[in-house]
Structure 1
Amino acid sequence: MAYLALIFNALIWGLSWWPFRQFQAAGLHPLWATVTLYLISLGVISLSAGRAWREFLGTPSLWLIMLAAGATNTAFNWGVALGDVVRVVLLFYLMPLWAVLLARLILGERLTGLALLRMVLALGGAAVVLAPEQGGFPLPSGLADWLGVLGGFTFALNNVMLKRESHRGAHARALAMFSGGVLVAGSAALLMGVQGLVPWPSLPGWIWLLPLTGMAVLFFFSNLALQYGAGRLPANVTAIVMLVEVPAAAISALWLGGGSLDLKTAIGGACIVAAAVLAALERNGGH
């Protein structure tokens, strides 16, 4: 059941790009969709564990988790709805590179040989994926690429901070993550909406509330599934199982026209995934 729970979570995230694009085509920008999804989840958590609000509001370190989790969801959801899904997901999974640096800075973890190897692999893979066809320095080529990189960085920060604050109550940590999705995505949507950069929510009819509510339920249970699976399996196993998200996103995007895969992206992606696998192996002591 723990394995199935993690696979369920990875599949939900790997396939989430498609409904986000459908909502966007109907008039609901991914930022507003993110706000709606996490507002529903936040309401459920608040009703079931209202007392956790006191711990959350009184713990500044949980506010950083709120911002990191909110930025992760905002960047990922917007990125996969906007750009090439395969590229965005691969750039998101540069997370092990950022995790090495952040763990050193925040947790004081030493840099091992395996950590340096996965840094080189991740950087090399990113350079191959981002290498311009006409030559030049490999940098993100558009907003979607930057959102993928940002999402991976904040996801790494979120994971490092969750490790640091693992002694906090589970409900308080959940409140931090769900409220982050509402606060960060909502703030970005409001600021850009006022400037005319993001359209205000405008669904064609109430019938669209049904799939939106259904997606909110799936996101809520996928979060519970992650907590269930991660709490019952070793961290290295969890990390490897979660990589199911990469092929789920890539295959669905190639099938449904949400992305493309050339030789350059495949080679770079293989290096990035290899870095993520090495990160999982290192959590198990390098065996």
Structure 2
Amino acid sequence: MTRPVLAVLALALNALVWGLSWWPLRQLDANGLHPLWATACVFTLATVVLTLISPSGWRHFKQHPQLWWLMAASGLTNVGFNWAVTTGDVVRVVLLFYLMPTWSLLLAWWLLHERPTRGALARLGLALLGVVLVLKTPESSWPLPQDLPDVLALFAGFCFALTNIWLLRLQHTPESSRMMAMFGGGAWMALACAALATLTAVIPAVFAVQPNAVDVAQAAVTWAPYVVGLSVAFLVSNFTLQYGAARLSAHATAMVMMSEVVFASVSSVALGASALTWRVGLGGGMIVLAALLASQTQTSKDNTP
């Protein structure tokens, strides 16, 4: 099997993991573990494993304090996406999350001083039109976010774009440190948000529905396979992403990664977690097309002598 084929399969595995992650998160939620606490557990376990594998990853935070910003942006991405995909319509959440290239354009203009071209503004308009179609429902007079999952999905996409900006600015730092920042951010930000939300009664405490020690133990046993499975899956998907992205063009990488939309849509519709309407389908197509056009443009720039 050739390297390009392995790279495509590696990226497809990454997309599959994230496209199906909504299901174990919902199983945990159904068994009393809120997605914020679930995210905290999953990423804490993954961070511990990474620390044992590569303890040197933490040593560069003092030399490169901007890694803390990467940690915050990456952590909030996972907090927003996991909470949204657990409690909202999976297709809508994934499509709104993939508005990320639009946020990247605006953030690059602000933080990197990269003025957008006419083509970039056209793609921005295409993506925003897609968002209007996705957000608009027959019951609403304006295309506004309908509920908390919509807001969280948009927020997660913005944070993911910010994560990518920080990854670009920190490309000179060791890869192990960037990876530690991303997984550590998932753990710390989820723990902080979960604790704050619990204290303010926005979400229930971890063991709020378990009245005694026996029930607590049973709940922990029920949660363990999902938490361990997600931790392993996210670690593997990160490694496969690094392998595939390093061996394919930016456009090819984006094309394969867009399969996450397919995995999430097909699985959620089949299992009754989403309703695919013509508005969502058409709007989602526009968002995905804008993202693919953006990646194609970036590839052309990278290949220019």
Maintained 8 Å contact 1:10/1:242: yes
The aligned residue for residue 157 of structure 2 is 152
Does 1:109 find its partner at 2:124?
A: no
Higher alpha-carbon deviation: 103-112 or 271-280: 103-112
Does 1:131 find its partner at 2:146?
A: no
Maintained 8 Å contact 1:2/1:229: yes
CA distance 1:197–1:256, shift in 2 (3 Å) = same
Q: CA deviation at 1:234?
A: 1.5
Letter in 2 for 1:123: L
Larger Rg: 2
The number of residues matched between the two structures is 287
Distance 1:211 1:4 in 2: 24
Does 1:43 find its partner at 2:48?
A: yes
The aligned residue for residue 30 of structure 2 is 25
Q: CA deviation at 1:110?
A: 2.7
Letter in 2 for 1:285: S
User: Gaps spanning 5+ residues in structure 2: where?
Assistant: 1-5, 208-215
Distance 1:77 1:64 in 2: 20
CA distance 1:53–1:205, shift in 2 (3 Å) = closer
What secondary structure sits across from 2:115 in the alignment? coil
TM-score calculated relative to the size of structure 1: 0.96
1:256-271 matches, cutoff 5 A: 256-271=271-286
1:68-147 matches, cutoff 5 A: 68-147=73-152
Higher alpha-carbon deviation: 244-253 or 229-238: 229-238
The aligned residue for residue 252 of structure 1 is 267
Cα deviation code 1:85-140 (max 9, x no counterpart): 01011100000110111111222223122211110011000011111314522111
The aligned residue for residue 176 of structure 1 is 181
Distance 1:243 1:125 in 2: 16
Higher alpha-carbon deviation: 106-115 or 243-252: 106-115
Letter in 2 for 1:238: T
User: Percent identity between the aligned chains?
Assistant: 46
User: Gaps spanning 5+ residues in structure 1: where?
Assistant: none
Maintained 8 Å contact 2:91/2:264: yes
Letter in 1 for 2:94: V
Match of 1:61 among 66, 73, 77: 66
Runs of 4+ in structure 1 deviating by more than 3 angstroms, as ranges, are: none
Distance 2:273 2:222 in 1: 25
TM-score calculated relative to the size of structure 2: 0.90
CA RMSD of aligned residues (A): 1.5
